[in-house]
Each structure stands twice: as C-alpha cells, then as structure tokens.
Amino acid sequence: MTAKRQPDFLTVEQAAEVIGFGRTKTYALARRAADFGEGPFPAIRLGKQLRIPRHKLEALSGGPITIYAEDDDSTVAPTSHDVPDPTNNTDHPPTTNTVDDTNTDLQQPTLPFTE
C-alpha cells in the first residue's frame, strides 16, 4: 500500500492510532491542549473540530508519520465512525416479550404496611 498526499491535519482518532493511546485519552489531551494550552500535545480547534497538525505530531514523535488508507482512492484511513457496530443490529424491529397469564396458584405474601 503506498501513501498519497498526507493530510496536514489529523483527526484525534488518527492521532490516537499514531501515538498508541486510546481514543478517550487522546481526546482529553487534545481538549486540554486546544482549550487551555496545557501539556505537550499539539492540538488546535478549527471551529468546533479538534485537529492535530501533522508536522507538530511528527516533531513530538521524533519522526515522519504516514497515514495509510485501506483503499487506493483515499489518503486517510477511516475512523471508527465508518465501521459498522456488530452489536447494533438494526435489520429488524426488536422482539417483544409476551407474558404468560396462566394462574400459577402462588400466593403473594401480605406486605406488613398494607394490613
């Protein structure tokens, strides 16, 4: 797989993959850096979006960063939002549970505060 033109700004999820941190931790670092100027993590806000300048992340990591794409038409790998969630099956409506109303002849105990 060959890399085409690399993006100048990475998403937080792409940066997390590069540095080997989790998505949540990387978002926390990016928010602290962009909103308060704290920490060494290079993040900026472009409107409401958080982005990480690739050249600053390369300086922090000490080497070049290459973002590979899964297909040849794109330079950036898809984020986790692009991958379907196998636990969320929306192909059919949810099933409903039915209650069996047959008498089981079990007596309910009398509650002390109802006497």
In a domain, 113, yes or no: no
Domains identified in the chain, total number? 1
pLDDT in tens, 58-100: 998 888 888 876 554 545 555 555 555 666 656 656 666 666 6
pTM passes above 0.75:
no
In a domain, 90, yes or no: no
Instruction: Give the residue numbers spanning the domain of 34.
Output: 9-77
In a domain, 51, yes or no: yes
- Provide the pLDDT for residue 82: 52
Please state, rounded to an integer, the average pLDDT across all residues of the chain: 77
In a domain, 108, yes or no: no
In a domain, 32, yes or no: yes
In a domain, 97, yes or no: no
User: Token pair for residue 97?
Assistant: 């549970």
